């Protein structure tokens, strides 16, 4: 797994091409809870609106950080530098 960057619930994989092309990037679930009914969740059960808002804010922060890392990876790619 070349260039993997981890966060608490999601992982970001940045894979550089050996041919000098733009990187290939994807987000994967790294932390999930599987419930007895087969559902998976990325947040704990929230009993209040404030708890859910806090969880959503954390998810946004994680996704924003992955977007920052992805932008950096594409800026550093040889193809982006040539173009």
Place of tokens 């009914």: 37
The reply to whether 74 falls in a domain is no
Rounded to the nearest 5 degrees, what angle is found at the Cα of 23, between the Cα atoms of 19 and 24? Answer: 115
* Helix, strand or coil, per DSSP, at residue 81: helix
Cβ 1 vs Cβ 16: under 8 Å? no
pLDDT digits (tens, 9 = 90+) for 19-48: 768 899 999 988 888 888 989 898 888 999
Report whether pLDDT(1) > 50.
no
The reply to whether 77 falls in a domain is no
* pLDDT (0 to 100) of residue 83: 52
How far apart, in Å, are the Cα atoms of 47 and each of 16, 37, 43, 51, 56? 42, 20, 12, 7, 14
Cβ 3 vs Cβ 24: under 8 Å? no
Question: How much is the mean pLDDT over the chain?
Answer: 83
Q: Which domain does 23 fall in, by range?
A: 4-63
Full-model pTM: 0.73
**Domains in the chain, number:** 1
């Amino acid at each position: 797994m070349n260039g993997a960057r981890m966060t608490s619930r999601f992982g970001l994989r940045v894979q550089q091409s050996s041919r000098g092309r733009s990187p290939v990037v994807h987000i994967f679930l790294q932390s999930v809870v599987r419930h007895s009914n087969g559902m998976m969740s990325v947040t704990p059960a929230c009993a209040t609106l404030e708890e859910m808002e806090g969880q959503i804010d954390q998810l946004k922060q994680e996704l924003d950080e992955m977007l920052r890392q992805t932008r950096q990876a594409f800026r550093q790619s040889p193809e982006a530098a040539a173009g």
